Amino acid sequence: MTATRYDRRMYAVMNDRRAAAAYATMTRRRLLVGAHVALTVTGVGAWIGTVFGPGLGQAVVVVVVMFPWILLTGLLNGSTCGLLELRGRMLDERQLVERDRVRALAHRITLWLLVAAVFGAGAYGLLADAPLRAAVTPVLIGVLAAHWMMPLWVAGLRVRDDLGDDES
């Protein structure tokens, strides 16, 4: 199938190297992923607090966290050259294999996160002598957010450094 105008535009956006200095090294990408994880946890936690807690004070945190979270998401997508965002027809065979590896690893990590969440919610129900349903919904929302973001985080950590012009 041939590439559409949308495919070509997204390919150009995802392969725009103007911000490459921000994710040029493994250390920088690890910092980006760590900051993205922290902002995701903060934003999702604040959103859960807004929905399930008293008042709307946490909504301000969600709004404040949103802009840097979007910026870091774009940087991580740029660091992977759109590995997870581009359609398969825009990726070469190596990229398709890498995307499958990233998704498989993210799936395994999320599986263990789900196992931990089940045990954590069960322990909360036993230790706090509270109904389990009090912990289940917020925990499920947190795990859903992690499931959604895990492939991007894994891809960001797996990207190799670009070789410079002087390195062959």
> How do the pLDDT tens digits run along the chain, 168 residues long?
788 999 999 999 999 999 999 999 999 999 999 999 999 999 999 999 998 888 788 999 999 999 999 999 999 999 999 999 999 999 999 999 999 999 999 999 999 999 999 888 888 878 887 777 777 888 889 999 999 999 999 999 999 887 554 444
Would you call 46 exposed, middle or buried from its count of C-beta atoms within 10 A (0-12, 13-18, 19+)?
buried
Q: Give the C-alpha separation, 68 to 47, whole Å.
A: 16
Kindly list the distances between the CA atom of residue 99 and the CA atoms of 28, 61, 88, 95, in Å, as whole numbers in the listed order.
Answer: 21, 33, 9, 6
Global model pTM greater than 0.85: yes
Q: What is the pLDDT of residue 112?
A: 96
Q: Give the C-alpha separation, 83 to 99, whole Å.
A: 6
* Lookup: tokens for 33: 């992923």
Q: What is the pLDDT of residue 14?
A: 93
Nearest alpha-carbon partner for 160 in 21, 14, 25: 25
* DSSP output for the chain: -PPPHHHHHHHHHHT--TTGGGGSSHHHHHHHHHHHHHHHHHHHHHHHHHHHSSSSHHHHHHHHHHHHHHHHHHHHHHHTTTTTTS-GGGS-HHHHHHHHHHHHHHHHHHHHHHHHHHHHHHHHHHHTT--THHHHHHHHHHHHHHHHHHHHHHHHHHPPPPPPTT--
Q: What is the pLDDT of residue 2?
A: 86
Q: How far apart are the first and last CA of the chain?
A: 34
Task: Report residue 74: phi and psi, to 5°.
Answer: -65, -40
